């Protein structure tokens, strides 16, 4: 076991009984394609578990913290906390990117897929903590590193869906519903990039790029809202 994985355990302040779980959590499938001789597993099963644990703990916190909020608002707050962009930002704060085992191609990539991989690795780490240290240790970790983002999300209204905000603003200003058009798509199937334009009538007012058409639309809406503030 490399010294780097012990450094990561110290960084996230979790004393693992089985450090191999943390190693698995930061091992991407692409790495194994180039290192078949190494006796390692990729992190997808741990990510599956961690995703469910994260959602449960965040849901429990929001349910107890906001007794008067309806289900729709709680769902929006939860989505803002567990979305990939937020998790990848937290992953960088924890230096997870310095410990990811990736293929040479993925290591060099600066695309959105790198953030996606890091967000998945954080979920896998949560899965590893859950298996190794249990629910309470997971709850402490998630509260410290993820739920701490909630005040900023509420203050900046980041829980509001950008497409809904964009539509409300345009309908109020121009009395029309904005539309989206696919401008281009590029890249291999595992890292396809979509570029979408947001239109008011026939005028394109912003563009956005993402790993899916939906994500590109969200980005286009976000970019317009940032310009319009």
51 is catalytic: yes
CATH code assigned at 214: 3.30.160.20
203 is catalytic: no
Q: Which of 106, 123, 215, 222 is catalytic?
A: 123
How many domains does the structure of the chain reveal?
2
Q: Which of 51, 132, 215, 222 is catalytic?
A: 51
Same domain for 81 and 112, yes or no, is yes
Per-residue pLDDT of the chain (229 residues; tens, 9 = 90+): 578 899 999 999 999 999 999 999 999 998 887 777 778 899 999 999 999 999 999 999 999 999 999 988 898 899 899 988 899 999 999 999 899 998 877 776 655 578 889 999 999 999 999 999 999 999 999 999 999 999 998 988 778 778 888 888 898 888 999 999 999 999 877 678 999 999 999 999 999 998 889 889 989 998 998 887 6
Same domain for 216 and 134, yes or no, is no
- Kindly give the pairing relationship between strand 193-200 and strand 179-186: antiparallel
Q: What CA–CA distances, in Å, run from 214 to 60, 182, 206, 208, 210?
A: 28, 10, 15, 10, 8
> Last residue of some domain: 155, 185, 215?
155
CATH code assigned at 35: 1.10.1520.10
Domain with 104, as residue range(s), is: 3-155
Same domain for 17 and 128, yes or no, is yes
């Amino acid at each position: 076991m490399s010294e780097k994985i012990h450094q990561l355990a110290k960084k996230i302040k979790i004393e693992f009984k089985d450090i191999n779980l943390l190693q698995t959590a930061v091992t991407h499938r692409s790495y194994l394609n180039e290192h078949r001789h190494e006796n390692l597993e990729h992190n997808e099963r741990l990510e599956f578990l961690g995703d469910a644990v994260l959602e449960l703990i965040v849901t429990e916190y929001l349910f107890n913290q906001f007794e008067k909020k309806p289900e729709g608002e709680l769902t929006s707050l939860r989505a803002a906390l567990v979305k990939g962009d937020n998790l990848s930002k937290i992953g960088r704060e924890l230096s997870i990117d310095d410990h990811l085992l990736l293929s040479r191609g993925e290591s060099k990539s600066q695309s959105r897929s790198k953030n996606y991989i890091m967000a998945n690795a954080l979920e896998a780490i949560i899965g590893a903590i859950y298996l190794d240290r249990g629910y309470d240790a997971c709850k402490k970790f998630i509260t410290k590193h993820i739920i701490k983002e909630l005040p900023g999300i509420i203050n900046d209204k980041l829980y509001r869906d950008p497409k809904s905000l964009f539509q409300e603003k345009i309908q109020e200003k121009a009395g029309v519903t904005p539309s989206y058009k696919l401008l281009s798509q590029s890249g291999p199937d595992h890292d396809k990039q979509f570029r979408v334009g947001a239109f008011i009538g026939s005028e394109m007012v912003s563009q956005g790029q993402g790993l899916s058409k939906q994500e590109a639309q969200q980005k286009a809406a976000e970019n317009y809202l940032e310009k319009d503030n």
